Amino acid sequence: MSYSVPKIAGESDTIVGRTEDHLWARWEVFVRPRGGVTHVYSESVHAPDAETALLNARDTYLRRVEGVSLWVIPSGAISRWDEHQALPESRSEEGSARRLWEAFIRHRRGAQFLHAGSIVAADAVDAIVRARDAFLTKTDGVAIWVAPSEAIVAADPDEAEMLFEPFADKGYRQATYYDIPEEVGYM
Amino acid sequence: MDTITTSRPLATYLIRHGDDNLVLAQRLAEYISWAPELEEDLAIANIALDHLGVAHHLLAYAASVEGDGRDADALAFLRSEREFTNLLLVERPNDDFAVIMVRQFLFDAYQVPLWEALAGSADTTLAGIAAKAVKEARYHLRHSRNWVVTLGDGTEESHRRTQHAFDELWRFTGEMFVGDALDTDMAAAGIGVDPASLEAPWRRTVLEAIADATLSEPEDTTVRVGGRSGFHTEALGHMLGEMQWLQRAYPGLEW
């Protein structure tokens, strides 16, 4: 008997809930793993809104890492600096409206960005300068991201049970769950 | 109408709910690689695995209660269409993305109060399975509700398709709340739940989402029943053909 996967008529020509350029916005995902002390960058997802971004991030990045907290940040809200770019030597002293920023540090090439902490700063460049002064030592840190704190969309702690626990006892989600026949050798 | 029974009423009861989850898991798995976005494909695969996990727990427990030498795999792969006791709703085919999400939403809105009630079951194994499943079901509901509202309150085309999905599936929802003698016995024993008691919370959840999605509540239609007695729509047989052929063609095959 043969029964193929049904053809979903018209799916490809229907565009729903996307932004004007027909692409969903990109969101950067940060997960605090169980036992971890800080949120770790986990790459990105695409989603039309914050709620969908959180759900997509959960389904994409919590399948194999057991997480206890989840953040998504619109990619466009993040200002980025790396060691090859010049930075002002001193902080901005302008007293105008300051606000809270979250700083993420990459400590060496190839490592993931880690949430380092919060700082009060006048603007994105000022936030990067202050993050460098506060969180980097001379021998440490090759890149910094900053985002206004209010740009962070965090999973509601009351929903942690629903978001994170279902992954806890599902060994079959891990590749190591499956026995590999001897003939296959190393994969 | 006949009722499908096994040697033990509890096993029959467990198989019903196991079948709901098994059949929906298979339906969702059919859709993998067809979702409109990669992220949604992963989400649907996750949800399918959640349902499969619940199905496995329930069918394995049913098999042990039954004590007839069948295991969960035998229940899943070696029963015929007529022996499946899932709700008709979950076997409905994947006509389009709106149907998939509305089918999921209508079922999630039922499973959340179902597992909440069964988490207090006098049968501690069933209570344990339900306590785990309710966390997953709450997430599924949040995911499917989000899509129902996004699609309903989206473009003209997505609104039309989502309303159509509700209209098409509505006649299969009444079955969730129709009990039979087994439901009455299980509820009386403190093991199961009276399905009628799940209708009010289900309606609240569904009508609120329909309003948020700018959709209309479908008109009352004749309620279709029969799944719990093994009388299915044409769609199930085709699905089982795909799902079971390997074990049917190569009995006992393992991988």
Mean pLDDT, all residues of chain B: 94
The reply to whether A86 touches chain B by the CB within 8 Å rule is no
Q: Is the pLDDT of residue B115 over 70?
A: yes
d(CA B24, CA B169): 14
Proportion of chain A above pLDDT 90, given as a percent: 38
Please give the pLDDT value at position B37: 85
| Residues 101 through 130 of chain B touching chain A, CB cutoff 8 Å | none
Proportion of chain B above pLDDT 90, given as a percent: 91
Give the minimum alpha-carbon distance from A31 to chain B in angstroms, rounded to a whole number. Answer: 17
CA atoms within 13 A on the CB side of A110: 0
As a whole number, mean pLDDT of residues B183-207 equals 97
Q: Which residues in chain A have their CB less than 8 angstroms from residue B95's CB?
A: 6, 8
Express each pLDDT in A18-66 by its tens digit: 444 557 889 999 999 988 999 999 999 998 889 899 999 998 888 777 8
Q: Is residue B4 part of a domain?
A: no
Secondary-structure breakdown of chain A: helix, strand, coil percentages, each rounded to the nearest 5: 30, 30, 45
Topology of the domain comprising A23-161: Ubiquitin-like (UB roll) (3.10.20)
Please give the pLDDT value at position A7: 47
Extract the tokens encoding A69. Answer: 């907290």
Give the minimum alpha-carbon distance from B7 to chain A in angstroms, rounded to a whole number. Answer: 31
Proportion of chain B above pLDDT 70, given as a percent: 97
**What 3-state class would DSSP assign to B52?**
helix
Query: Can you give the CATH number for the domain in which B206 is found?
Result: 1.20.1260.10
Binned at pLDDT 50, 70 and 90, residue A152 comes out as: very high
The three-state DSSP-derived secondary structure of B10-28 is HHHHHHHHHHHHHHHHHHH
B66 neighbors B7 (Cβ within 8 angstroms): yes
Domain ranges of chain A: 23-161
Give the minimum alpha-carbon distance from B53 to chain A in angstroms, rounded to a whole number. Answer: 8
Q: Is the pLDDT of residue B68 over 90?
A: no
d(CA B59, CA A183): 33
Q: Which residues in chain B have their CB less than 8 angstroms from residue A11's CB?
A: 34, 36, 96-97
Binned at pLDDT 50, 70 and 90, residue A11 comes out as: very low
Express each pLDDT in A90-147 by its tens digit: 777 766 678 999 999 998 888 999 999 999 999 999 999 999 988 887 667 789 999 9
Q: Which residues in chain B have their CB less than 8 angstroms from residue A9's CB?
A: 96
Please give the pLDDT value at position A15: 41
Range in A154-163, B120-129, B197-206 with the lowest mean pLDDT? A154-163
Domain span including residue B50 = 9-216+224-249
The reply to whether A59 touches chain B by the CB within 8 Å rule is yes
Q: Is residue B80 part of a domain?
A: yes
Burial of B75 (0-12, 13-18, 19+ CB in 10 A): buried
d(CA B78, CA B110): 28
Express each pLDDT in B143-170 by its tens digit: 999 999 999 999 999 999 999 999 999 9
d(CA A9, CA A11): 6
As a whole number, mean pLDDT of residues B60-84 equals 95
Residue indicated by tokens 């394995």 = B60
Burial of A23 (0-12, 13-18, 19+ CB in 10 A): exposed
Q: Is residue B26 part of a domain?
A: yes
Q: How many domains does chain B have?
A: 1
The reply to whether B132 touches chain A by the CB within 8 Å rule is yes
Proportion of chain A above pLDDT 70, given as a percent: 81
Closest CA to B178 of B79, B91, B110: B110
Please give the pLDDT value at position B145: 97
